[in-house]
Amino acid sequence: MASTVKRLAVLPFILFGLSAAAWGGGPAAWPEITRECRPGAYWWWMGSAVNPADLTRELARYCAAGMGGVHIVPIYGAKGCEDQYIEYLSPKWMAMMHHAVREAERLDMFVDMSLGTGWCFGGPNVSDEDACANIKVNAFDAPADSRWTHSFDPKALQVLAAFAPDGKWIDLKEKLDSNGAITWRSDGVPRRIYAVLRRLSGRKVKRAAPGGEGWMLDPFSGGAVRRYLERFTEAFAANPGPRPRAYYHDSYEFIANWSPDLLDEFAERRGYRLEGELPALLAKEPDDHAARVKADYRETVSDMMIENYAPVWIGWSRDHGSTTRYQAHGSPANILDLYALADVPETEMYAKDRDVLVAKFASSAAHVAGRKLTAAETGTWLKEHFITSLADVKKLADELFLAGVNHVIYHGACYSPDEAPWPGWLFYASTQMNPRNSIWRDAPALNAYIARCQAVLQAGRPGNDILLYWPIHDLWNGKPGNKTDDFLPRYGVHNSRSWLDERSIGAVATLLWKRGYRFDYVSDRQLVAAQVNQGRATLPGGEYATVLVPPCNLMPLETLKALFDLAEAGATVIFADHLPKDVPGAGNLDKRRSQFAETLKRVLFTQPTTDGTLQTASVGSGRLLVGPIEAGLAAAGVDREALTDLEGLQFIRRTLDDGYWYFLNYRGRQPIDGWIPLSVDCGAIAIHDPMTGQIGTAATRNIDSGRTEVYLRIEPGESVILRAFADRPATPTPQWDYYHSSGEPVELTGKWKIEFIEGGPKLPHPLATERLVSWTELEDEVANNFAGAARYTLVFDAPETGRSTWLLDLGRVCHSARVRLNGRDLGTVFAPPFRVLADRLQLKPLGNVLEVEATNLSANRIRDMDRRGERWKNFHDINFVSLDGKPFNASNWPLYDSGLLGPVRLRKQESFQP
């Protein structure tokens, strides 16, 4: 018998939709979706125990789900499968890699590969001399006219120097005998003797695969990485075949603060010997001179990574026919310069360490250097295992898109042979984006969403107006505040408070972000290379309306001259609050200070404006501005996007020859319903729905300032893409249909038939119910432990006759659903609000059939396995751990709600034009 309907009073509801004709092509069509647009995944090979048949099967499954590629990372293996392990870079291993690349090419997918196993660079061919190392300092006091005797390991000893109270020093290393012994008599003054010894840090490759075990590499030495790459050169030469698309360097997890080359590199770059400044370098409470020496040491390490280490492996990759992906974060170098060396800079967000302003360092480097792609390691420890939903992944992806990422790489998918019992082989720091996880069933809908978004975000050019200078020399000169390593601070996603949030650049970046100004960070090296075109600062990746310098004290002379030269050539440069005050570093300080002062004298600033806030100086055909940021930006003609005044609404913009792309994401509490301002004047705007692929011409209006407003309605958590045309296209796109709810919503009630169709460990028995509740409330132990999908079927009569458009609101869904009405596929929903539009659908008067296939998380199934003590965590090395690093155990978890919980309602829609 058909169900009855129950009417409910609700507030008016407005929905976007469109006619079927709006799917057409034309100038507003979606950009082409390539394999780089589709999300990829880290693909861990446990023990490299892979075989051609399973490789082919897994790649076919990834392709069918809408993924664009994989990244091979060999790691430790599963217990009991040791006889299947394949040694890294052996002929058999190379054959498996070549097979994967060939199969991926056949499927129009890419394959990337780590240059090593686990992480970071390192392995069995890394000698003690090439391994990452720290220094250990021993200090001895030698009274005046005393005899001092000691012995050292000659290979470990880096510096042996005796310092008098006045700072004068004697190099004692040259006085060692061949066995490392020394007997030395001090002169008539007491001296402090420093012995600096290089000590291996003990850091070995983490999560190494068979054949990849060994020391981590010295990350500052070009020679060390050159020798490291020899085994790869030999392996590829001996085993020819197709190469990966890209080679990869993981984030910096080396433990190192020294390199055998450092002393000579320092002397050449800084103009004085570091050996003679050991008391300053090692000072716990540095005075100005000591702070400058420390800054010079930190800059030298940065230079060595940027100029000696990274170019070697990047150059090797390109010479061997591949590109590069590079996670520069976590390193002690200027990460903007390090990211920019790679073809694809890559960032990441980790658990709760999710800061758009940190992730923008990678995209800024890509934008400034003219790289098309910015990648992101996506989903590392997003939540605890098996409780991460597709909606959680979408939310993270949206944050990454706003940060400028346009190449999502899931973290990830673990290769697992079909015969491995559920849940198969698993890597511990992963979202488990694999075909064995229940969320995989509806992952194609998420992958399609990401592909559409990334197709847009890979199109055109970055649409940012401001180059925001990173005053890293203030960081290098001061105490970094990073408790883990004050000697050589690092710049990563986990400690951004110390190097970004609490610094002037963090405050300025936050202001710009919240106020709707879009910017890219820029380094000293990049600014020195900038040119000017028609008044805009120009770099390989594009043009910018202005350069903005946050309040800073120290700036290299070369950078100051470059900024003044940009102004001379016609650019506008803004100094927030004040000009820099001094040069950094200790070498040749008096001369550099004098040149710095002379450079500042090149310009004469006018009196502040009538409100007393902004000073200006005309320099050549450009300007220098000093004062409040927004006053400077207004004077420079930089417009902000006022749409960010709506709390929770953010955007990223791409520039096209005939307009712009806008990606908008909304994190507010109440729906947006009304006119949204854009900072550009548009001839037309097309709305693109990345969830459905639908397109239509938006309602727009011009406002007094010559700008355009577009009518939008966005639910919390949703994203909208706009294609803004400078002129109205000759071939218009059909109008976007705007809908509002008409009348009262109708709750669908009656007898729901529930059939469990896919999953395990067992399929619960089918049932019928008039009350929609979680499977965990069915008093069925099999349903409590089930992970998979169930089909809900309801037969109902139409609330009214006639041809109408209806909004079907599923209410609460745990955690995704496929929807059909009268045999018509209405789509897959995996994030709130769980609604689909039944466009121009004529309901039958009687006997309409609604089918909802709801899929839950795998949490309840894994909970059951741990409660029963079933052995599935069966891996070497770290085995399988929780987010807190402790052994994973789900036995005390609560049951997670599952299925279609409703209430399910129909809302009649009426079309209107704003």
Task: Return d(Cα 509, Cα 513) in angstroms, integer.
Answer: 6
Task: Return d(Cα 721, Cα 194) in angstroms, integer.
Answer: 62
What is the DSSP secondary-structure string of 596-646?
A: HHHHHTT--PPPPPTTS--EEEEETTEEEEEE-HHHHHHHTTPPP-GGGGS
Task: Return d(Cα 255, Cα 217) in angstroms, integer.
Answer: 10
- Find the angle CA(401)-CA(404)-CA(410) to the nearest 5 degrees: 55
Task: Return d(Cα 694, Cα 721) in angstroms, integer.
Answer: 11
Task: Return d(Cα 23, Cα 515) in angstroms, integer.
Answer: 35
Distances in Å between the Cα of 490 and the Cα atoms of 215, 220, 271, 481, 697 are 21, 14, 25, 11, 48
The pTM (predicted TM-score) of the whole model is 0.96
pLDDT of residue 3: 45
Task: Return d(Cα 110, Cα 67) in angstroms, integer.
Answer: 10
- Find the angle CA(560)-CA(374)-CA(233) to the nearest 5 degrees: 100
Cα 87 to chain centroid, rounded: 31
Token pair for 57: 């099967």
Task: Return d(Cα 224, Cα 209) in angstroms, integer.
Answer: 21
pLDDT of residue 176: 95
Token pair for 561: 């001259």
Distances in Å between the Cα of 828 and the Cα atoms of 279, 893, 902 are 66, 28, 16
Radius of gyration, alpha carbons of the chain: 31
- Find the angle CA(345)-CA(658)-CA(398) to the nearest 5 degrees: 40
Position of tokens 């420390």? 294
Tell me if residue 124 falls in helix, strand or coil: coil
* Spatial contact of 563 and 522, defined as CB atoms under 8 Å apart: no
Task: Return d(Cα 723, Cα 710) in angstroms, integer.
Answer: 11
Which helix (DSSP H) or strand (DSSP E) does residue 14 occupy? strand 14-18
Task: Return d(Cα 696, Cα 681) in angstroms, integer.
Answer: 19
pLDDT of residue 626: 96
Q: How many helices (H) and strands (E) does the chain have?
A: 21, 49
Cα 205 to chain centroid, rounded: 23
DSSP 8-state symbol, 37: T
* Spatial contact of 306 and 338, defined as CB atoms under 8 Å apart: yes
Task: Return d(Cα 675, Cα 827) in angstroms, integer.
Answer: 28
Task: Return d(Cα 533, Cα 531) in angstroms, integer.
Answer: 7
**Residue type (1 letter), 484:** T
Task: Return d(Cα 49, Cα 44) in angstroms, integer.
Answer: 10
Task: Return d(Cα 880, Cα 198) in angstroms, integer.
Answer: 35
Position of tokens 């309409």? 848
Task: Return d(Cα 724, Cα 707) in angstroms, integer.
Answer: 12
Q: Can you list the positions of beta strands (E) in 437-480?
A: 461-462, 466-469
| Sheet of 157-163, strand order | 133-142, 191-200, 157-163, 169-171
Task: Return d(Cα 337, Cα 302) in angstroms, integer.
Answer: 9
Position of tokens 């060390």? 224
DSSP 8-state symbol, 672: E
pLDDT of residue 76: 98
Tell me if residue 546 falls in helix, strand or coil: strand
Position of tokens 């469109």? 18
How many residues can be counted in the chain? 914
Task: Return d(Cα 284, Cα 279) in angstroms, integer.
Answer: 10
Residue ranges in the chain modelled with pLDDT below 50: 1-24, 481-484
* Spatial contact of 402 and 650, defined as CB atoms under 8 Å apart: yes
Task: Return d(Cα 112, Cα 561) in angstroms, integer.
Answer: 41
Looking at the DSSP assignment, which residues form a beta bridge with residue 373?
A: none
**Residue type (1 letter), 651:** F
DSSP 8-state symbol, 119: B
Position of tokens 């002393």? 263
Tell which residue, 30, 14, 40, 25, has the closest CA to residue 692.
Answer: 30
